[in-house]
């Protein structure tokens, strides 16, 4: 049996499932720094990558980890790192470099409660806005949020596919509870896994940042005489620094537009009992699991409730939420209201907020109370 | 006879000539060092198509933008980890980090000592101009004591890093220090550094007339070079502890360390990916890993004054 | 004033001559820093009066046969930060 895809049913934690998803997606380079609750991703990669011809490096810190995966990606390898809040903060600088230089990589952030060191071993979902706006400048983020180990596997593959397609770092925004949750994970055979690979530039005379129709430029290989120059400075199509407003408008406009243009294709959500619902709970990650239970309990109590689960957090599914805006809304998340801001912006009214500062997931009863308040 | 007008320079095939003249100030030594680097490359026949230059941020960080090879101008301080990742992914390519003292030793200080410790097979050229030139001449971790900068207007009260000494003890395989005046010996050192399998490091003291010299009685670039001429003492197998640079005192230049070659970081990483290696016993693997770590042996011979030869 | 060094006397006595060089300049790359002038071992370069495109004074060559002449040592080429000046061996005519 091939070692890269461990076909079959396994009992895995979310962290380990994410690592297996990466390997199945073709990830052959990992650089990271230990941090709870994401260390199991690195540990699994350290054991597994050599078996499949991949390279694992434990770097000196998260700044280095992020830089190293960008270097490896330019070296032609699919590359990933994994971290949690404090490390995610340190990675923001080179996350920006990845956006600016259009480098496909995947960053796994297993969220814990913050700010700062916060609750290293306990749940938080407070990095939603950081995943959107964490590095400076104007850009579009892509972030996915799994609710189960199975989704950790599936969505890591999807994260790589999106990264490769759009040439941009993609964030897998897990949380501690999902990361440490053990469940059955079914790994399908290779032929059932869709894999997207970056477009490779072949024409040496073409400017390296000249985009195709989809606004994504094919990625030049290195060591083959292209003589490319890649910089974090604002650059023109040749890749050369061009420090002026006109280039900024054109080039940064494009790296935003390449995501915006296809946002509808990237957006992904699950609607559970939403059709006839008078009140909709918006949740993601581990919170969605409590919310699902709360929705069932509400239905048992005669309230027509539904769950709108964000599978992709960024880009945000504003269009669909706007279509549903004639219903009442509850937003549940383990922070002080981050997705809440986007939901209210989409539905153009207030939602009932059921937040927690972190440390434990919601009890379904807590969300149920929010549902009852919304229909009052 | 008068000067003959020319349109092309012998190094032009290594340069993105369409981007010249470069951004560096008149009399800045970075162009000189870049020239030495390209001559060394040419001398040893290093294929520019298989060579990568990675830079960080700052004046020297702009070097990557002028060489006609695949080049990366990364973030401040992170050229080394970017290069470490790239080299590990692509050990078939020659990877050089070309950057400045502030980039490599202040904001990037942690990365460079770890890359040296791992014996990553990259070459690092560190141009040490004692200051942050790009931002207007602030205090650097290399500014000599008493040095005047915009953020040490009363004179630097900190002790500077001894870059070559630091990297020699951190685990590098080859370490040398020259100045922008010692262009021929620098070239020779760069040839050795580029050929060396393992972490090689060449520090080049260089003039910054605009941001540092101007404030420290070396307004003309020639003044700094005359200073180097007066105080540089050429020595080999330099005890890393002797690498300290103090103002208006002799300082050593030369080869600090030329350790015997041994498996590099990348050799070890790739060895791990071989099935036969993974299936050997832990004891056999340990033996392979520790077989050749002779850097410390050489270093201790140098420190105890027994010379750096085997 | 041209003065002969011991090396040159020695070379002459043994019937040898120093190599001769031709100096080339890409004038518009020059930033007039003067390093080539200051460190030419034969002092055959001086600041010229003319301006290049960028407004700098490029060097000019002032050879005095037979001693103060370019010996093709290549130091100007190596010290020049601008890839502007270089030398080639002068072929015997």
pLDDT score at C67: 85
Domain of residue A302, CATH code: 3.40.50.920
Top residue of B19, B57, B82, B89 to mutate, by most chain A CBs within 10 Å, is B89
A280, A188: one domain: no
pLDDT score at B290: 72
Give the residue numbers spanning the domain of C57.
19-89
Top residue of A31, A223, A236, A238 to mutate, by most chain B CBs within 10 Å, is A223
Q: Which of A171, A192, A213 is the last residue of a domain?
A: A192
pLDDT band at C92 (very low <50, low <70, confident <90, very high): confident
Give the residue numbers spanning the domain of B272.
265-303
Q: How far is CA A52 from the centre of its chain?
A: 24
Give residues 27 to 86 of C whose Cβ lies within 8 Å of B: 27-29, 31-35, 38-39, 54, 56, 58-61, 63, 69-70, 75, 77-86
Domain of residue B42, CATH code: 3.40.50.970
- Please check the confidence at residue C17 and state whether its pLDDT lies above 80: no
Do A and B count as touching (3 or more CB pairs closer than 8 A)? yes
Q: How many domains does chain A have?
A: 2
Q: Is residue B6 part of a domain?
A: no
B199, B294: one domain: no
Q: What is the DSSP-derived secondary structure letter of residue B234?
A: E
Q: How many domains does chain B have?
A: 2
* Distance, CA of C47 to CA of B26 (rounded, Å): 14
* Distance, CA of B54 to CA of B74 (rounded, Å): 7
Q: Which two tokens stand for residue A364?
A: 């379904």
CB contacts, 8 Å: B210 with chain C: none
Interface TM-score (ipTM) > 0.90: yes
Give residues 249 to 288 of B whose Cβ lies within 8 Å of A: 269-270, 272-273, 278
Q: Is residue B291 part of a domain?
A: yes
All partners of chain B with 3 or more CB pairs under 8 angstroms? A, C
Residues 6+ apart with CB under 8 A from A133: A141
Q: Is residue B2 part of a domain?
A: no
Q: Is residue C10 part of a domain?
A: no
pLDDT band at C13 (very low <50, low <70, confident <90, very high): confident
Q: Which of A159, A192, A225 is the last residue of a domain?
A: A192
Q: How far is CA A76 from the centre of its chain?
A: 21
First to last CA, chain B: 52
Residue in the structure block whose two tokens are 């810190």: A61
What would you report as the CA-atom Rg of chain B, rounded to the nearest whole angstrom?
20
CA atoms within 13 A on the CB side of A273: 20
Q: Are B90 and A75 in contact (CB under 8 A)?
A: yes
Q: Is residue B7 part of a domain?
A: no
pLDDT score at B291: 63
B186, B289: one domain: no
* Distance, CA of A360 to CA of B79 (rounded, Å): 40
Residue of C nearest to B36 (CA): C78
Give the residue numbers spanning the domain of A53.
8-192
A35, A184: one domain: yes
Q: Is residue C52 part of a domain?
A: yes
Domain of residue A143, CATH code: 3.40.50.970
Mean per-residue pLDDT over chain C, rounded:
89
Element (H, E) at A307: strand A305-310
B135, B91: one domain: yes
Q: Is residue C25 part of a domain?
A: yes
Give percent of chain B with pLDDT exceeding 90: 86
CB contacts, 8 Å: B69 with chain A: 227
Q: Are A288 and A307 in contact (CB under 8 A)?
A: yes
The per-residue pLDDT for range B128-158, each reduced to its tens digit, is 999 999 999 999 999 999 999 999 999 999 9
A23, A150: one domain: yes
Specify the pairing of strand C59-61 against strand C45-47.
antiparallel
Mean per-residue pLDDT over chain B, rounded:
94
Give the bridge partners for B174, in sequence order. Answer: B200, B258
Average pLDDT over residues B275-288: 81
Q: Which two tokens stand for residue A31?
A: 């650089």
pLDDT score at C5: 65
Question: Cα dist. C73→A226, B32, B65, C36, C90 in Å?
Answer: 35, 16, 29, 12, 12
B281, B142: one domain: no
Give residues 241 to 300 of A whose Cβ lies within 8 Å of B: 241
- Quick check: A71 and B273 CB within 8 A? no
Torsion on CA atoms A237, A242, A245, A248, rounded to nearest 10: 40
Strands (DSSP E) contained in C14-91 are 21-25, 45-47, 59-61, 85-89
Least Cα separation, residue A8 to chain B (angstroms): 23
Give residues 41 to 70 of A whose Cβ lies within 8 Å of B: 49-51, 53-57, 59-61, 63-65, 67-70
Domain of residue C36, CATH code: 3.30.70.20
Q: Is residue A227 part of a domain?
A: no
B148, B287: one domain: no
pLDDT score at A336: 97
Q: Is residue A199 part of a domain?
A: no
Q: Is residue A262 part of a domain?
A: no
- Please check the confidence at residue C87 and state whether its pLDDT lies above 50: yes
Q: How far is CA B179 from the centre of its chain?
A: 11
Give the bridge partners for B125, in sequence order. Answer: B98, B202
The per-residue pLDDT for range B37-85, each reduced to its tens digit, is 999 999 999 999 999 999 999 999 999 999 999 999 999 999 999 999 9
Q: Which two tokens stand for residue A84?
A: 């949690």
3-state secondary structure A27-76: EEEEEECCCCCCHHHHHHHHHHHHHHCCEEEECCCHHHHHHHHHHHHHCC
Q: Are B71 and A228 in contact (CB under 8 A)?
A: yes
pLDDT score at B303: 84
Q: Is residue A318 part of a domain?
A: yes
Q: Peptide bond before A315: cis, by omega within 30 degrees of 0?
A: yes
Q: Which residues of chain A have pLDDT under 50?
A: none
Q: Is residue C2 part of a domain?
A: no
Q: Is residue B136 part of a domain?
A: yes
pLDDT score at C4: 57
Do B and C count as touching (3 or more CB pairs closer than 8 A)? yes
pLDDT score at B293: 62
Q: Is residue B308 part of a domain?
A: no
Residues 6+ apart with CB under 8 A from A332: A281, A282, A283, A287, A290, A291, A294, A353, A354, A355, A362, A366, A367, A370
Give residues 209 to 228 of A whose Cβ lies within 8 Å of B: 222-228
B68, B192: one domain: yes
* Distance, CA of C83 to CA of B278 (rounded, Å): 51
CB contacts, 8 Å: B86 with chain A: 71-72, 74-75, 222
- Quick check: C80 and B1 CB within 8 A? no
The per-residue pLDDT for range B106-118, each reduced to its tens digit, is 999 999 999 999 9
Average pLDDT over residues C44-50: 96
Strands (DSSP E) contained in B138-222 are 138-139, 174-179, 200-205
pLDDT score at C1: 42
Q: Peptide bond before B101: cis, by omega within 30 degrees of 0?
A: no
CB contacts, 8 Å: B12 with chain C: 83
pLDDT score at B292: 56
* Distance, CA of B168 to CA of B268 (rounded, Å): 21
B291, B249: one domain: no
Q: CB contact, 8 Å: B15 with chain A?
A: no
First to last CA, chain A: 58
B60, B160: one domain: yes
Q: How many domains does chain C have?
A: 1
Q: Is residue C60 part of a domain?
A: yes
């Amino acid at each position: 049996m091939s070692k890269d895809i461990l076909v079959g049913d396994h009992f895995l934690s979310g962290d380990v499932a994410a690592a297996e998803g990466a390997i199945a997606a073709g990830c052959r380079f990992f650089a990271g720094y230990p941090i709870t609750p994401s260390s199991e991703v690195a540990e699994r990669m350290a054991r597994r990558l050599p078996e499949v011809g991949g390279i694992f490096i434990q770097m000196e810190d998260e700044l280095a980890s992020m830089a190293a995966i960008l270097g490896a990606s330019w070296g032609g390898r699919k590359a990933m790192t994994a971290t949690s809040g404090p490390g995610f903060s340190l990675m923001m600088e080179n996350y920006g470099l990845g956006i600016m230089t259009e480098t496909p990589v995947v960053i796994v952030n297993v969220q814990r409660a913050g700010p700062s060191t916060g609750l290293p071993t306990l749940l938080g979902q407070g990095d939603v806005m950081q995943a959107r706006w964490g590095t400076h400048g104007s850009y579009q983020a892509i972030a996915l949020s799994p609710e189960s180990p199975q989704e950790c596997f599936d969505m890591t593959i999807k994260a790589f596919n999106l990264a490769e397609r759009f040439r941009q770092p993609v964030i897998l925004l897990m949380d501690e509870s999902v990361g440490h949750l053990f469940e059955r994970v079914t790994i399908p055979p290779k032929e059932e896994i869709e894999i997207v690979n970056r477009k490779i530039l072949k024409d040496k005379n073409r400017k390296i940042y000249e985009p195709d129709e989809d606004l994504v430029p094919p990625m030049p290989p290195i060591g083959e005489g292209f003589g490319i120059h890649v910089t974090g400075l604002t650059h023109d199509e040749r890749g050369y620094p061009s420090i002026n407003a006109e280039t900024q408008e054109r080039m940064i406009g494009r790296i935003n537009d390449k995501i915006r243009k296809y946002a509808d294709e990237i957006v992904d959500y699950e609607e559970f009992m939403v059709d006839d619902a008078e009140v909709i709970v918006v949740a993601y990650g581990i919170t969605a699991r409590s919310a699902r239970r709360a929705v069932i309990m509400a239905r048992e109590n005669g309230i027509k409730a539904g769950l709108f689960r964000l599978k992709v957090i960024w880009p945000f599914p504003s269009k669909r939420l706007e279509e549903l805006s004639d219903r009442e809304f509850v937003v549940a998340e383990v922070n002080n209201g981050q997705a809440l801001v986007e939901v209210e912006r989409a539905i153009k009214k207030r939602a009932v907020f059921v937040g927690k500062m972190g440390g434990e997931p919601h009890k379904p009863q807590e969300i149920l109370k929010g549902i009852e308040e919304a229909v009052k | 006879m008068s000067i003959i007008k020319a349109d092309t320079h012998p190094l032009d095939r290594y340069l993105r000539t369409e981007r010249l003249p470069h951004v560096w100030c008149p009399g800045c030594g970075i162009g000189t060092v870049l020239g030495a680097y390209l001559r060394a490359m040419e001398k040893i026949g290093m294929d520019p198509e298989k060579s990568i230059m990675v830079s960080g941020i700052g004046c020297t960080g702009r070097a990557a933008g002028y060489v006609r090879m695949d080049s990366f101008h990364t973030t401040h301080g992170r050229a080394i980890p970017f290069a470490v990742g790239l080299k590990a992914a692509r050990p078939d390519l020659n990877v050089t980090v070309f950057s400045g003292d502030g980039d490599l030793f202040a904001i990037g200080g942690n990365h460079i000592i770890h890359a040296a410790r791992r014996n990553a097979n990259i070459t690092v050229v560190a141009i040490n101009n004692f200051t942050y030139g790009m931002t207007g001449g602030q205090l650097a971790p290399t500014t000599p004591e008493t040095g005047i900068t915009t953020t040490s207007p009363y004179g630097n009260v900190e002790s500077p890093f001894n870059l070559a000494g630091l990297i020699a003890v951190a685990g590098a395989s080859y370490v040398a220090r020259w100045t922008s005046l010692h262009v021929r010996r620098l070239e020779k050192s760069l040839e050795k550094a580029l050929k060396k399998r393992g972490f090689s490091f060449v520090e080049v003291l260089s003039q910054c007339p605009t941001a540092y010299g101007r404030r420290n009685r070396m307004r003309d670039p020639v003044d700094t070079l005359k200073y180097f001429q007066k105080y540089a003492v050429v020595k080999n197998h330099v005890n890393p502890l002797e690498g300290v640079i103090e103002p208006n005192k002799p300082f050593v230049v030369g080869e600090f360390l030329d350790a015997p070659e041994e498996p590099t970081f990348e050799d070890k990483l790739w060895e791990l990916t071989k099935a036969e290696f993974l299936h050997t016993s832990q004891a056999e693997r340990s033996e392979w890993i520790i077989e050749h770590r002779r850097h410390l042996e050489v270093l201790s011979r140098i420190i105890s004054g027994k010379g750096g030869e085997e | 004033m041209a003065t002969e060094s011991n090396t040159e006397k020695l070379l002459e006595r043994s019937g040898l001559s120093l190599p001769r060089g031709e100096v080339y300049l890409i004038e518009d790359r020059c930033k007039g820093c003067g390093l080539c002038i200051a460190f030419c071992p034969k002092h055959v370069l001086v600041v010229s009066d003319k301006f290049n495109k960028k407004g700098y004074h490029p060097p000019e060559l002032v050879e005095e046969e037979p001693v103060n002449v370019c010996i093709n040592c290549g130091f100007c080429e190596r010290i020049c930060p601008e890839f502007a000046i270089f030398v080639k061996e002068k072929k015997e005519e």
